[in-house]
């Protein structure tokens, strides 16, 4: 099917791109739907050839064959849910250069109501070089990223069942959450399992307390005297079973992640891991991977540097950032400013007539950006330069903006590590304060000279 540009009543054919030269002659545009895929390519005499396909595997292969017949080398498609992934991977496997386009960048012209016109519009914009591809890490990291995202989703699904256990206990006036800081810790789970098995004596239940628990048996015993209603015990039993089920699945997922790590770039040199100073005393997290040392070694082999030594980072955040941004950030992001803007950690300036109308950080669901924010939250009380930066900015800007600014500073350090393959060289707080004071003195001298004064030390 061939279609030309639309004509309005009594008006000649609109030519919005007249006078512009095509940048990508062998470009195609694809509109991906749940049941139908519409592809558009350039034909003779400026016409566009549009063809519809199904979404089965043989249809995806037919699309690649059809593109090959028309000499297509580059394909642009809109990121529609997850429907684009099979087509993207199939075309990429066949050697086409694929661009994933955000829907925000192509929905600026009203009036396009059909899949055919969508495909034509994408192909037209792509042929004139007006589309920019969304970021996607290296292909060999996609499988690991999928597994880590799946692991994070399972932890989110497990969290409500912890709340269900707490709710069931509170409805029976079992104040376990008041006696223990974490009901899913060693002491908490041992007590809950005993309750599910039929133990009702508070003194016997308190004896399940772990020796390292800060609360005494007497305090825990007071919290374990309740009504023991059957309906709430039933809810507690099922919630515990669901919690255990998700925990088992997370452990199985960790084993699969370890297997994929071993298959990812196995021939790359590992090198020696730098020594990590103790960041937090008595720090523990049930959600972090159990084999943190092996993950550090794998990440060091993939990235060429050890991100876990960065203040605020651990094995969990380091692998999240690695799988979301890849190890070759310098190829996609020319500077750290581009990198931080993509992360959603840089302010967005709305400028009109040389005047800044708005200056704000846009909302984003970028997982790597969230990881840097979590790193900023973990250093807010730490004795390191990032912690000193956070506390200094919090007094002036508030905690929200201080978190973003600190995450921005950490992201710039990580960008330089990944781009130039240099290990982290931390400053002491005293060195950071000296650098900050020197920067402020330089600024005040420049400001005084501009006003015709000279800054003299007291």
pLDDT in tens, 294-338: 888 889 989 989 999 999 998 899 999 999 998 888 888 999 999
Using a pLDDT cut of 70, give the percent of the chain over it.
Answer: 90
Q: Cα separations (Å) of 238 from 161, 233, 251?
A: 9, 9, 20
Q: What is the mean pLDDT of residues 193-210?
A: 91
pLDDT value for 181: 84
Output the pTM of the full model.
0.81
Place of tokens 């809950």: 192
pLDDT in tens, 117-163: 888 889 988 888 888 888 888 888 889 999 999 999 999 999 999 99
pLDDT in tens, 366-383: 899 999 999 999 999 988
Pairing of strands 2-3, 48-53: antiparallel
pLDDT value for 7: 41
Nearest to 310 by CA among 300, 323, 325, 324: 300
Torsions phi, psi of 40, nearest 5? -130, 135
Band the pLDDT of 246: cuts 50, 70, 90.
Answer: very high
Q: What CATH class does 19-127 carry?
A: alpha beta
Count CB atoms within 10 A of the CB of residue 340: 22
pLDDT value for 166: 94
Above 80 in pLDDT, residue 287? no
Above 50 in pLDDT, residue 347? yes
Structure tokens of 81? 């849910």
- CA atoms of 268 and 256, how far apart (whole Å): 21
pLDDT value for 458: 78
- CA atoms of 327 and 316, how far apart (whole Å): 16
Mean pLDDT computed over every residue of the chain = 86
Contact 127, 100 (CB under 8 A): no
Give SS3 for 334: coil
Band the pLDDT of 201: cuts 50, 70, 90.
Answer: very high
Provide the b/e sequence for 147-159 (b: ≥16 CB within 10 Å).
bbeebbebeeebe
Q: What is the mean pLDDT of residues 289-298?
A: 84
Q: Is 219 exposed, middle or buried (0-12, 13-18, 19+ CB in 10 A)?
A: middle
- CA atoms of 39 and 119, how far apart (whole Å): 6
- CA atoms of 1 and 425, how far apart (whole Å): 61
User: In 3-state terms, the chain is what percent helix, strand and coil (to 5)?
Assistant: 55, 10, 40
Using a pLDDT cut of 90, give the percent of the chain over it.
Answer: 46
- CA atoms of 84 and 100, how far apart (whole Å): 9
For residue 254, what are the contacts with CB-CB under 8 A and spacing of at least 6? 151, 289, 290, 291
Q: What is the mean pLDDT of residues 273-280?
A: 61
Q: What is the mean pLDDT of residues 157-179?
A: 93
Band the pLDDT of 4: cuts 50, 70, 90.
Answer: very low
Above 90 in pLDDT, residue 59? yes
pLDDT higher at 288 or 293? 293
Band the pLDDT of 357: cuts 50, 70, 90.
Answer: confident
Structure tokens of 174? 């079992």
- CA atoms of 256 and 242, how far apart (whole Å): 21
How far is C-alpha 63 from the geometric centre of its chain's CA atoms?
32
Domain range annotation of the chain: 19-127, 142-263, 292-426
pLDDT in tens, 81-114: 889 999 999 999 999 999 998 877 776 555 556 8
Place of tokens 């772990």: 210
Q: Is 212 exposed, middle or buried (0-12, 13-18, 19+ CB in 10 A)?
A: exposed
Q: What is the mean pLDDT of residues 274-302?
A: 73
Q: What is the mean pLDDT of residues 20-25?
A: 78
Above 50 in pLDDT, residue 399? yes
Question: Residue 131: CA atoms inside 13 Å, Cβ hemisphere, count?
Answer: 33
Above 90 in pLDDT, residue 247? yes
Angle at 394 between CA 389 and CA 400, to 5 degrees: 110
Give SS3 for 227: coil
pLDDT value for 270: 60
Per DSSP, 104 falls in state: G
Contact 396, 306 (CB under 8 A): no
Above 80 in pLDDT, residue 266? no
Q: Is residue 438 within a helix (H) or strand (E), and if so which, with residue range? A: helix 429-450
pLDDT higher at 2 or 250? 250
Nearest to 126 by CA among 48, 60, 200: 48
pLDDT higher at 212 or 389? 389
Contact 376, 406 (CB under 8 A): yes
């Amino acid at each position: 099917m061939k279609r030309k540009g639309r004509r309005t009543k009594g008006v000649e054919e609109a030519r919005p791109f007249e006078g512009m030269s095509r940048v990508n002659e062998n470009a195609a545009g694809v509109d991906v739907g749940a049941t139908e895929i519409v592809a558009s390519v350039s034909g003779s005499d400026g016409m566009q050839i549009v063809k519809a396909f199904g979404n089965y595997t043989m249809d995806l292969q037919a699309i690649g064959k059809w593109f090959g017949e028309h000499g297509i080398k580059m394909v642009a498609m809109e990121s529609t849910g997850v429907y684009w992934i099979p087509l993207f991977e199939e075309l990429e496997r066949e050697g086409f250069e694929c661009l994933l386009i955000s829907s925000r960048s192509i929905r600026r012209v009203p009036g396009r109501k059909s899949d055919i016109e969508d495909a034509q519009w994408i192909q037209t914009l792509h042929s004139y070089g007006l589309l920019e591809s969304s970021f996607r890490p290296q292909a060999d990291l996609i499988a690991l990223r999928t597994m880590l995202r799946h692991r994070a989703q399972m932890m989110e699904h497990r969290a409500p069942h912890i709340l269900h256990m707490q709710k069931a206990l509170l409805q029976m006036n079992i104040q376990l959450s008041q006696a223990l800081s974490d009901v899913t810790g060693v002491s908490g789970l041992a007590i809950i399992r005993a309750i599910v098995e039929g133990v009702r004596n508070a003194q016997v239940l308190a004896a399940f307390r772990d020796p390292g628990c800060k609360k005494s048996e007497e305090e825990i015993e007071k919290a374990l005297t309740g009504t023991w209603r059957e309906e709430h015990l039933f809810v507690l039993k099922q919630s515990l079973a669901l919690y255990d089920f998700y925990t088992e699945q997370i452990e199985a997922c960790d084993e699969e992640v370890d297997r994929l790590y071993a298959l990812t770039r196995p021939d790359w040199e590992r090198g020696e891991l730098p020594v990590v100073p103790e960041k937090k005393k008595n720090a523990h997290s049930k959600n972090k991977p159990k084999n943190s040392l092996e993950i550090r070694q794998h990440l060091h082999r993939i990235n060429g540097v050890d991100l876990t030594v960065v203040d605020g980072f651990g094995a969990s955040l380091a692998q999240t950032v690695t799988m979301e941004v890849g190890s070759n950030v310098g190829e996609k992001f020319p500077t750290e400013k581009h990198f931080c803007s993509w992360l959603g950690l840089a302010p967005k300036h709305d400028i009109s007539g040389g005047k800044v109308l708005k200056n704000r950080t846009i909302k984003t669901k970028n997982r790597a950006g969230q990881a840097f924010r979590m790193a900023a939250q973990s250093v807010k009380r730490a004795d390191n330069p990032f912690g000193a930066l956070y506390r200094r900015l919090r007094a002036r800007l508030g905690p929200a903006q201080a978190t973003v600014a600190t995450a921005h500073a950490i992201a710039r350090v990580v960008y330089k590590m990944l781009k130039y393959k240099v290990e982290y060289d931390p400053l002491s707080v005293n060195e950071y304060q000296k650098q900050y004071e020197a920067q402020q003195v330089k600024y005040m001298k420049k400001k005084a000279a501009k006003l015709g004064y000279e800054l003299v030390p007291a």
